């Protein structure tokens, strides 16, 4: 992987710098940045604005990384943007990387479609990421930071936080999501102070009914101007599963509140727009309960439901396990049937130690190499099996060459136990999630 800003700046310059004509909210972080982007884009769209959103990696096709008003680019639009960017890269002899090309494609398309605002997710890290070309973003946002990509970003929380903080810009506001590590919070705040960035450390929202599995939450909005004299409490729905969405949702809403009280373009946004936007937010691949009712192909195995989650590091594995215990098992000690695939280089032992319990069954698989990302390779299923046997000796783990074979093995075990409500969980990589969605027949945008 070849990080750096020289090539992307040259490429954008050859395209007449489309990024300079965009109003941008730039979002970095280890976990939660995709959900935050989804909330932001949905709220802004609900307010009547035309919203571009750039996320990576792609879920089903590279086209779904760039959306306007929640709709991915069409095949024709994507081809047009690709032609423009690839021709510019070739004529200037730049040799941009696939992610740099995709980043330029999104900015070129957003500019051509005259979006009112663009929500841009960092690809990897922040400081040297190809998206880090905005001199004066509307705001920067840093989601939860944890240990991931340590071979690239650094082997400590402090080093990783410094890389993420690299998207902050002098005197531009920065919103910092609740951080699980105090050191990450301190590093981000100090970096913001060094750049004289107005910064806000977000407090998580609270459930209206703590005993409910999902539902409505409330937040006290931070005072962003001298005209605000009373605390502003907002009630809103959280449609995405998991308690960690209290932090992600609160972060997105605080960004919106900052913008609507400080920037004319967003001054029309009301609490109703926020509530409507939250209600309409969708974000596949994160604690997504996929049923055979919605996707009948599952019933051919037969499986009735599968919990799908892209958890690929220890900080993401913890809330996944908590959700499984609470939502799928209801506090019981029933076994979980895991379908697992992971990217090479991940801390298998740390992730599996969080997920697995005695008696669980694990079907280990690989995944398809994502289009345009040949450096992304799946961990050998046998390595996952060996790691599982070491950290959870009471589990049964088996390696499979393909997803369908692994699912049929899982379905056979579920049938033996006569558990229609069995806890079947597919996780470990968003690339693996994409393979599953394709298999069940989720349509590409």
Taking residues 232-242, what's their average pLDDT? Answer: 92
Q: Are residues 272 and 296 in the same domain?
A: no
CA nearest to 324, candidates 343, 337, 315: 337
CA nearest to 338, candidates 398, 425, 237, 252: 425
Other C-beta atoms lying within 10 Å of the C-beta of residue 62? 22
User: The tokens 């890389």 sit on which residue?
Assistant: 163
C-alpha 371/C-alpha 78 separation (Å) is: 15
Residue 445 lies in a domain: no
Output the pLDDT for position 341.
96
CA nearest to 242, candidates 29, 31, 30, 431: 31
Q: Are residues 175 and 316 in the same domain?
A: no
Output the pLDDT for position 273.
98
Residue 1 lies in a domain: no
Output the pLDDT for position 1.
67
C-alpha 429/C-alpha 366 separation (Å) is: 10
Q: Are residues 119 and 41 in the same domain?
A: yes
pLDDT band, residue 155 (cuts 50/70/90): confident
Domain end marker among 249, 280, 311:
280
Residue 139 near residue 105, CB atoms below 8 Å: no
Q: Please determine, for residue 367, whether its predicted confidence score (pLDDT) is greater than 90.
A: yes
Residue 377 lies in a domain: yes
Output the pLDDT for position 117.
99
What is the residue range of 302's domain? 288-440
Q: Please determine, for residue 276, whether its predicted confidence score (pLDDT) is greater than 70.
A: yes
Q: Please determine, for residue 202, whether its predicted confidence score (pLDDT) is greater than 90.
A: yes
What Å distances lie between residue 194 and 172, 199, 307, CA to CA?
12, 11, 43
- Average pLDDT of the chain, as a whole number: 92
Output the pLDDT for position 376.
83
CA nearest to 92, candidates 78, 110, 104, 80: 104
Structure confidence by residue, pLDDT tens digits, 326-359: 888 887 888 999 999 999 988 899 999 999 999 9
Output the pLDDT for position 142.
98
Residue 54 near residue 131, CB atoms below 8 Å: yes
Structure confidence by residue, pLDDT tens digits, 91-129: 999 999 999 999 999 999 999 999 999 999 999 999 999
Q: Are residues 256 and 356 in the same domain?
A: no
What Å distances lie between residue 165 and 118, 176, 202, 319, CA to CA?
20, 10, 16, 24
Q: Are residues 156 and 252 in the same domain?
A: yes
CATH number, domain with residue 178: 3.40.1190.10
Structure confidence by residue, pLDDT tens digits, 47-65: 999 999 999 988 888 999 9
Could you tell me the end-to-end alpha-carbon distance of the chain, in angstroms, rounded to an integer? 28
pLDDT band, residue 195 (cuts 50/70/90): very high
Domain end marker among 260, 280, 300:
280
Q: Are residues 263 and 298 in the same domain?
A: no
Residue 396 near residue 361, CB atoms below 8 Å: yes
Share of the chain above pLDDT 90, in %: 75
C-alpha 290/C-alpha 305 separation (Å) is: 5
Q: Are residues 201 and 299 in the same domain?
A: no
Output the pLDDT for position 199.
96
How many folded domains does the chain comprise?
Answer: 2
Q: Are residues 179 and 299 in the same domain?
A: no
Domain end marker among 226, 261, 280:
280
Output the pLDDT for position 136.
97
Taking residues 61-73, what's their average pLDDT? Answer: 93
pLDDT band, residue 278 (cuts 50/70/90): very high
Non-local (6+) Cβ contacts of 87 within 8 A are none
């Amino acid at each position: 992987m070849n990080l750096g800003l020289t090539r992307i700046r040259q490429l954008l310059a050859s395209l007449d710098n489309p990024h300079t004509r965009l109003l941008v909210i730039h979002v970095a972080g280890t976990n939660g940045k995709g959900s935050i982007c989804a909330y932001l884009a949905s709220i802004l769209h609900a307010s009547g604005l035309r919203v571009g959103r750039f996320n990576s990696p792609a879920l089903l096709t590279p086209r779904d990384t760039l959306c306007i008003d929640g709709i991915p680019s069409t095949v024709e639009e994507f081809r047009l943007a690709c032609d423009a960017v690839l021709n510019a890269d070739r004529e200037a002899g730049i040799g941009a990387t696939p992610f740099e090309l995709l980043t330029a494609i999104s900015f070129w398309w957003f500019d051509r479609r005259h979006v009112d605002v663009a929500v841009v997710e960092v690809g990897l890290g922040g400081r040297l990421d190809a998206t880090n070309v905005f001199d004066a973003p509307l705001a920067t946002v840093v989601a939860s930071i944890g240990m991931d990509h340590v071979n690239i970003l650094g082997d400590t929380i402090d080093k990783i936080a410094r890389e993420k903080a690299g998207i902050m810009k002098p005197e531009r506001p920065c919103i910092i999501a609740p951080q699980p590590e105090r050191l990450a919070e301190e590093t981000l705040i100090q970096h913001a102070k060094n750049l004289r960035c107005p910064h806000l450390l977000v407090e998580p929202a609270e459930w209206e009914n703590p005993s409910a599995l999902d539902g409505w939450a409330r937040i006290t909005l931070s005072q962003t101007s001298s005209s605000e004299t009373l605390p502003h409490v907002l009630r809103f729905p959280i449609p995405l599963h998991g308690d960690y969405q209290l932090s992600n949702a609160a972060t997105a809403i605080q960004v919106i509140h900052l913008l609507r009280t400080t920037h004319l373009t967003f001054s029309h946004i009301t609490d109703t727009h926020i509530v409507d936007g939250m209600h309409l937010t969708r974000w596949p691949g994160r604690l997504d309960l996929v049923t055979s009712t919605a996707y009948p192909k599952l019933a051919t195995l037969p499986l009735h439901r599968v919990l799908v989650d892209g958890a690929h590091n220890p900080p993401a594995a913890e809330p996944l396990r908590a959700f499984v215990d609470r939502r799928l098992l209801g506090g019981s000690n029933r076994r979980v049937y895991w379908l697992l695939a992971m990217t090479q280089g991940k801390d298998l032992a740390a992730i599996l130690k969080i997920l697995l319990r005695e008696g669980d069954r694990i079907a280990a698989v690989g995944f398809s190499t994502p289009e345009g990302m040949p450096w992304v390779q799946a961990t050998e299923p046998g390595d996952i099996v060996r790691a599982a046997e070491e950290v959870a000796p009471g589990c049964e783990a088996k390696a499979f060459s393909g997803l369908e074979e692994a699912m049929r093995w899982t379905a056979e075990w579920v049938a033996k136990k006569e558990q229609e409500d069995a806890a079947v969980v597919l996780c470990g990589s968003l690339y693996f999630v994409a393979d599953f969605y394709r298999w069940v027949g989720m349509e590409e945008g």
